[in-house]
Amino acid sequence: MWRTTQILHISTVFTAAVIFHFGCNVTSADSQNIDVGSDADADGDADTDTDSDSDSDADSDADSDADSDSDGDSDTDSDSDSDSDSDIDTDTGCSDQDGDDWCDDFDCEPTNPDINPGAEEIYDPPNGVDEDCDGATDEDPEPIIDTDSGPIIPDCSDCPTTGTTLEHMRCAIDLCDDAVHLSSEYTSPSNATTTDTYAAVARFGETTNDLAPLLFDAYALMATGPATGTIHTQNMGGTNIEDPYSQEEFLVNDVMEWRIHLKAPPKAKGFRVHYVFLSMEYDEYVGERYNDKFYIFLEAQSTNGGERTIINFTKCRDPDVYYDFICDEATMDWCEDGEKYCYIAINTSFSECCWYNDCPDGTWTTDLSGTGYSCADSWIEDTPGTGSSTGWLYTEWVVEEGEEFDVIFHIHDTSDSILDSEVILDEFIFLKDATPGTNEVV
**pLDDT surpassing 90 at residue 198:** yes
**What pLDDT score was predicted for residue 83?**
56
Tell me: cis bond preceding 110? Omega within 30 of 0 counts: no
Higher pLDDT, 397 or 2: 397
- pLDDT tier for residue 250 given thresholds of 50, 70 and 90: confident
Please answer whether residues 327 and 335 qualify as being in contact, where contact means their C-beta atoms are separated by less than 8 angstroms.
yes
Reported as a single tens digit per residue, the pLDDT across 121-161 is 887 677 889 888 987 876 665 544 445 667 888 899 899 99
Higher pLDDT, 48 or 383: 383
- pLDDT tier for residue 8 given thresholds of 50, 70 and 90: very low
**pLDDT surpassing 50 at residue 24:** no
- SS3 call for 344: strand
Over the chain, what is the mean pLDDT?
82
**What pLDDT score was predicted for residue 337?**
93
Higher pLDDT, 388 or 44: 388
- SS3 call for 406: strand
- SS3 call for 400: coil
Domain map (residue ranges) of the chain: 151-440
The pTM of the whole model exceeds 0.95 = no
Q: Cβ atoms within 10 A of the Cβ of 156, count? A: 19
Higher pLDDT, 261 or 77: 261
Q: Cβ atoms within 10 A of the Cβ of 364, count? A: 20
Tell me: cis bond preceding 283? Omega within 30 of 0 counts: yes
Please answer whether residues 260 and 181 qualify as being in contact, where contact means their C-beta atoms are separated by less than 8 angstroms.
yes
Reported as a single tens digit per residue, the pLDDT across 341-392 is 999 999 999 999 999 888 888 899 999 999 999 999 998 998 888 999 999 9
DSSP state of 5: -
Please answer whether residues 84 and 75 qualify as being in contact, where contact means their C-beta atoms are separated by less than 8 angstroms.
yes
Please answer whether residues 438 and 394 qualify as being in contact, where contact means their C-beta atoms are separated by less than 8 angstroms.
yes
State the number of CA atoms in the 13 A half-sphere of 342 facing the CB. 26
Reported as a single tens digit per residue, the pLDDT across 421-440 is 999 999 999 999 999 999 99
Pairing of strands 251-263, 241-242: antiparallel
Phi-psi region of 86 (alpha: psi -120 to 50; beta: other; left: phi over 0): alpha
- pLDDT tier for residue 79 given thresholds of 50, 70 and 90: low
